[in-house]
Structure 1
Amino acid sequence: MECRRERDRERSEQRWAAAHAGHEIVINSVGRRRCVTCSLAWRSAPVTDQDAVDRVVSGMPPEPMRPADRAAAVLELDARGLLSAQEIAVRVGCSARTVVRIRAARRAGLIGGAR
């Protein structure tokens, strides 16, 4: 009789193999598998909802936004150079700290500029 842990591990292996079938797999220094295909897709630039960004930039009240959309709206408003971090935060619907963090990420080259 196999133990529950072995059965769970086997099921986990099967799910992982099915999720990454046909992908490029590498083994890291400690012997763990890593899917290069999924890692590259995860790191690619997120797709933004340009309509949501345009609504916020035009001054309409913000709706809940995805992080990528929020960053794009902050960068768009920041590129205009007219608003402080607090004013951008109110317009986008986030905290002033989020605006400062997004600006710092742009300066560090972690995210791109406004469109």
Structure 2
Amino acid sequence: NFINKHQKPVLTGQRFKTKKRDEKEKFEPTVFRDTIIQGLNEAGNDLEAVAKFLDSTGSRLDYRRYADTLFDILIAGSMLAPGGTRIDDNDKTKMTSHCVFSADEHHDCIRNYAQVRVG
């Protein structure tokens, strides 16, 4: 066995630059959920304000990356666990009433919710 007792030279003061493609964004659906639900709840009962909020945050938040979470919130009012149970622990800050499941059960109301979500 040959053991090299000489240390290799070390460059000091050098920083390794990471390339943009090597940087990975963290996947944080709970942070996304909290942001969306806070905005929806602050919009009050005004569907116009809800639509405006969703439009404005679409440029800041990655709706594609968190599509499943967004769908859960807009349909069921909170994130869903596998099997369909809500994972909000009855914490009002983790759920919203601006969702299809909480809408009045008549055609016009459901259509208004669908138009806000799709439009």
Tell me which interval the TM-score lies in, with the shorter structure as reference length: 0.3 to 0.5
Question: 1 or 2 for the larger relative contact order (CA 8 Å, sep ≥6)?
Answer: 2
Q: 1 or 2, which has the higher helix percentage?
A: 1
More strand by share: 1
Q: Which structure is larger by alpha-carbon Rg, 1 or 2?
A: 2
